Amino acid sequence: MSIQTEIEQLKKEKNAVILAHYYVPGDVQDVADYVGDSFYLSKVATKLDCRSIIFAGVEFMGESAKILNPEKRVFMPDKTADCPMAHMIEVEDIEEVREKYPDVAVVCYINSTAETKTYSDVCVTSSNAVKIVKNLPNQNIFFIPDQHLGSFVAQQVPEKNVILHSGFCPRHHQITREQVLQAKAEHPKALFLAHPECPEEVLAEADYIGSTSGIIDYATESDEQEFIIGTVIGVFHELKLKNPDKKFYAVNSGQVCVNMEKVTLDKVKKVLEDESNEVFVSEEIRRKAMAPLERMLEMAK
């Protein structure tokens, strides 16, 4: 029996649903019930009729699914799969800004720990950050932890005072403008599609800026045939499935999320079998972290 068939059977047996982010390996995306960007997956997680969720992604994703679904069991195929950016902010950083700007709204990228969320007013993802910041009543915004998504939002919402933090995604941060120009010279017909976790000078060269789903949809709907992709190359799997005749190029060879790559098919099967790697969040943290997540789901409508 193939591992895919075994996983199918185990899913039924355990009444489990698999959610996968576009950055995990393609064969894991293929066995998932839902594949998407961070926002889509957090929305889907609130609407599932199942006993357990297998989250093929990194820690903050499994944690958010658990926070929103306390009655379900959530499992991670690899418990060490974590997003380094989520740990780049300290509670003291938030307290300092709150002291200086008592009316500030702390806007927390979903790529953050549950503890950070408890100190935040609203969560955002790359697909709704601009809309949510625009619609907040507050003039002062502390955007944490991603400096690049924060500066993209600041540009799109110039009427607000957006205070930036210093966090970043190591995979997007290492993409340079020079590399983009080089890739454009090599592929002169290609459009450049970038994720807002890229540095500002990289985004300045982009024909489209959006979340992983946004990039996939844009390339799929476009009449153009070639694209340079400024995000983690996990998205190539869905891009190629939807666009077998189009060509996709990375900007450099470092666009791999080593943490998402830890999520293998074998580990998905194992976690279904032995129900290990369960996600637990204390009730106090869960309740406090749920408020900014629910506000995001409401404000993004």
Summarize as ranges the residues that interact with ligand 13P (CB under 6 A).
37-39, 83, 111, 125-127, 169, 195, 197, 211-212
Q: Tell me the closest approach of the beta carbon of residue 25 to ligand SF4, in angstroms.
A: 13
Q: Tell me the closest approach of the beta carbon of residue 232 to ligand SF4, in angstroms.
A: 5
- The whole-angstrom separation of Cα 178 and Cα 289 is 40
Q: What does 38 bind: ligand 13P, ligand SF4, none (CB cut-off 5 to 8 Å by kind)? A: ligand 13P
Q: Tell me the closest approach of the beta carbon of residue 52 to ligand 13P, in angstroms.
A: 22
CB atoms within 10 A of CB 298: 10
Identify which range of 1-9, 68-76, 88-96, 257-265 contacts ligand SF4 by CB under 6 A. 257-265
Q: Closest Cα to residue 120, out of 135, 108, 130?
A: 108
Q: What is the 3-state secondary structure (H, E, C) of 105-164?
A: EEEEECCCCHHHHHCCCEEECCCCHHHHHHHCCCCEEEEECEHHHHHHHHHHCCCCEEEE
Bridge partners of 36, per DSSP, are 21
Taking CB under 6 A as the rule, does residue 85 contact ligand SF4? yes
Out of 58, 74, 190, 193, the only residue in the binding site for ligand SF4 (CB under 6 A) is 58
Taking CB under 6 A as the rule, does residue 257 contact ligand SF4? yes
Radius of gyration of the chain (CA): 19
**C-beta of 148 vs 269, nearer to ligand SF4:** 148
Taking CB under 6 A as the rule, does residue 193 contact ligand SF4? no
**C-beta of 61 vs 94, nearer to ligand 13P:** 61
Under a CB-based contact definition with an 8 Å cutoff, are residues 140 and 125 in contact?
A: no
Q: What does 37 bind: ligand SF4, ligand 13P, none (CB cut-off 5 to 8 Å by kind)? A: ligand 13P
- The whole-angstrom separation of Cα 76 and Cα 141 is 33
Task: Return the amino acid letter for 64.
Answer: S
Q: What does 55 bind: ligand SF4, ligand 13P, none (CB cut-off 5 to 8 Å by kind)? A: none
- The whole-angstrom separation of Cα 136 and Cα 81 is 33
Residues comprising the chain, all counted: 301
Out of 20, 32, 124, 260, the only residue in the binding site for ligand SF4 (CB under 6 A) is 260
Bridge partners of 146, per DSSP, are 167
Q: Which two tokens stand for residue 150?
A: 């924060």
Q: What are phi and psi of 56, to 5 degrees?
A: -85, 90
Q: Which two tokens stand for residue 103?
A: 């009316």
- Applying the rule CB under 6 A, the residues between 111 and 170 that interact with ligand SF4 are 111, 169-170
**C-beta of 25 vs 170, nearer to ligand SF4:** 170
| Sign of the C-alpha dihedral computed for residues 99, 100, 105 and 108 taken in this order | negative
Taking CB under 6 A as the rule, does residue 215 contact ligand SF4? no
Q: What does 84 bind: ligand 13P, ligand SF4, none (CB cut-off 5 to 8 Å by kind)? A: ligand SF4
Site residues (CB under 6 A) for ligand SF4? 23, 58, 83-85, 111, 169-171, 197, 232, 257, 259-260
